[in-house]
């Protein structure tokens, strides 16, 4: 033990006791709101539930929740939702498409270009494809025109995507990108969508939470890690034709009810705002939404700009653009610098104050600073990340309260996290902040089956179950 640690140990123990007491106090306050929800499962609150669902399963976005979850909440509160639905962290648009299919118009905000692109292509596939367009896709499936195309259209590589594909795959991608430029805008969008959907399968990488994991065949290996084999790496021609067939079949199936039967329900309009919800929410009209269904990034150090680096490079983002994007994302990685929230919106003082006044959060932050000072935190950026996460979330919550109609609900999926041996009750801290900012906390629904911890945390502190919850808040 270092002398520094000796000096601060009693203080750290006192802080841990204080955190436990404040956590217990909040749990007592929210006793009536907590319940385990048997109708929720790990599958419904994750992408698993979408995997085999037409269109929702095209692009594997591990951070998505299922359409079933959105349908469940919108269905349960049906008579009580009037007007549009909003998702400020829209991802690939699960909330938007699920609301629209129930006839409810929906607005989404998304910052990550891959999410924006998937939503755009899905919208186009629903609204605009003609039989000529589907005929073009059919032709690409049967004739593989890129194979005889001599010109190549190179794509951007950013530092972490260097050598991500076998050389013959790079050549095939470049020919494909070049050849698709001959087609009309609609067909191009579908061909590009299919390409984005297969990048992981044809690469040496696997998406693995905080990072991209590299197969040993790439010649890349993170120091100190074991050699990794991801199994079969698909060849480009097979992967792309399988994906195009899947998309085409879903598009054609979706058309059937329209031509055979009268349409039961008119789909609600979908609108996507591209950018950060911290910038866009303040521009939305107050009291204009009937519900919010959302899942923000969790405070778990997952870096979307790394996990989705292959896709960002294929969308031609440069290294500098990716670095900028990383900073604009809601703070949930140790690399996020503090954002000047009052510069974004000078009216947010009271929102930030709500986070600053939250006693459990402030004690956790003090504890983490002490752990940092005593050298026991595995990354010194953790205290800043936790502080930033909750301040930014307080601003998002305050804005959500502003744009919701009175009595409208907000449904939020989120996970608790754990750092330096302390579980952070994200559910209760955010719910307490929400109460301070104009919400009544109706329910904190616990998803059955508790989540574990990272292997580092488990090694050092043993397994402590972490709650995964859906919060139901009503605008007062």
Ligand X SMILES: C[S@@+](CC[C@H](N)C(=O)[O-])C[C@H]1O[C@@H](n2cnc3c(N)ncnc32)[C@H](O)[C@@H]1O
The residues of the shown chain that bind ligand X, judged by CB under 6 A, are: 61, 63-65, 89, 91-92, 94, 109-112, 115, 276-278, 295-297, 304, 329-330
In the complex, least distance from residue 300 CB atom to ligand X, rounded to whole angstroms = 10
In the complex, least distance from residue 331 CB atom to ligand X, rounded to whole angstroms = 9
Pairwise CA distance, residues 403 & 426, whole Å: 23
**CB nearer ligand X, residue 57 or residue 297:** 297
Look up tokens 């744009």; give the residue.
Answer: 403
**CB nearer ligand X, residue 136 or residue 276:** 276
In the complex, least distance from residue 390 CB atom to ligand X, rounded to whole angstroms = 14
In the complex, least distance from residue 409 CB atom to ligand X, rounded to whole angstroms = 16
| Residues near 151 by beta carbon (within 8 Å), at least 6 away in sequence | 175, 178, 179
Q: Which of 295, 327, 317 is CA-nearest to residue 117?
A: 317
Helices (H) and strands (E) in the chain, counts: 18, 12
- Please give the DSSP secondary-structure letter assigned to residue 39: T
Are the CB atoms for 403 and 287 separated by under 8 Å? Answer: yes
In the complex, least distance from residue 294 CB atom to ligand X, rounded to whole angstroms = 7
Q: Strand 211-214 and strand 205-208: pairing?
A: antiparallel
Pairwise CA distance, residues 30 & 432, whole Å: 9
In the complex, least distance from residue 163 CB atom to ligand X, rounded to whole angstroms = 26
Pairwise CA distance, residues 376 & 228, whole Å: 29
Q: DSSP 3-state assignment of 452?
A: coil
Pairwise CA distance, residues 447 & 347, whole Å: 35
In the complex, least distance from residue 344 CB atom to ligand X, rounded to whole angstroms = 10
Pairwise CA distance, residues 151 & 188, whole Å: 17
- Which residue's beta carbon is nearest to the bound ligand X? 91
Are the CB atoms for 428 and 23 separated by under 8 Å? Answer: yes
HSE (side-chain half, CA atoms, 13 Å) at 430:
32
């Amino acid at each position: 033990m270092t002398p520094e640690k000796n000096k601060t140990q009693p203080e750290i123990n006192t802080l841990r006791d204080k955190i436990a007491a404040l956590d217990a106090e909040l749990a007592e306050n929210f006793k009536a709101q907590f319940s385990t929800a048997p109708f929720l499962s790990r599958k419904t609150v994750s992408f698993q539930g979408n995997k085999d669902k037409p269109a929702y399963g095209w692009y594997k976005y591990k951070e998505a929740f299922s359409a079933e979850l959105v349908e469940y909440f919108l269905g349960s509160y049906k008579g009580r939702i009037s007007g549009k639905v909003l998702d400020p962290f829209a991802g690939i648009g699960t909330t938007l498409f699920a609301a629209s299919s129930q006839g409810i118009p929906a607005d989404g905000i998304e910052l990550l270009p891959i999410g924006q692109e998937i939503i755009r292509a899905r919208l186009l596939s629903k609204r605009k494809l003609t039989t000529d367009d589907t005929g073009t896709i059919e032709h690409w499936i049967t004739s593989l025109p890129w194979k005889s195309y001599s010109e190549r259209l190179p794509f951007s590589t950013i530092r972490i995507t260097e050598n991500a594909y076998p050389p013959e795959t790079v050549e095939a991608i470049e020919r494909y990108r070049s050849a698709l430029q001959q087609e009309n805008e609609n067909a191009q969008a579908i061909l590009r969508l299919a390409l984005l959907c297969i990048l992981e399968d044809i690469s040496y990488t696997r998406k693995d939470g905080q990072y991209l994991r590299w197969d040993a065949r790439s010649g890349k290996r993170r120091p100190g890690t074991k050699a990794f084999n991801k199994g079969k790496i698909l060849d480009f021609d097979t992967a792309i034709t399988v994906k195009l067939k899947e998309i085409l079949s879903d598009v054609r199936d979706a058309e059937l009810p329209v031509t055979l039967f009268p349409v039961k329900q008119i789909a609600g309009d979908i609108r996507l705002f591209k950018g950060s919800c911290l910038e866009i929410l303040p521009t939305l009209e107050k009291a204009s939404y009937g519900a919010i269904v959302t899942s923000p990034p969790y405070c778990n150090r997952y870096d979307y700009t790394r996990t989705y680096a292959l896709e960002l490079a294929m969308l031609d983002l440069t290294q500098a653009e990716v670095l900028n994007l990383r900073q604009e994302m809601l703070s949930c990685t140790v690399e996020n610098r503090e954002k000047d929230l009052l510069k974004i919106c000078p009216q947010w003082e009271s929102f930030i104050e709500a986070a600053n006044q939250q006693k459990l959060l402030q004690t956790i932050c003090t504890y983490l600073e002490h752990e940092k000072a005593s050298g026991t935190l595995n990354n010194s950026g953790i205290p800043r990340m936790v502080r930033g996460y909750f301040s930014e979330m307080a601003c998002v919550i305050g804005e959500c309260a502003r744009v919701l109609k009175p009595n409208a609900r907000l449904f939020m999926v989120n996970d608790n996290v754990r750092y330096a041996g302390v579980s952070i009750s994200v559910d209760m801290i955010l719910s307490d902040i929400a109460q301070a900012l104009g919400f009544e906390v109706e329910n904190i629904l616990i998803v059955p089956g508790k989540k574990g911890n990272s292997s580092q945390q488990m090694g050092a502190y043993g397994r402590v179950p972490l709650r995964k919850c859906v919060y139901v808040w009503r605008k007062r």
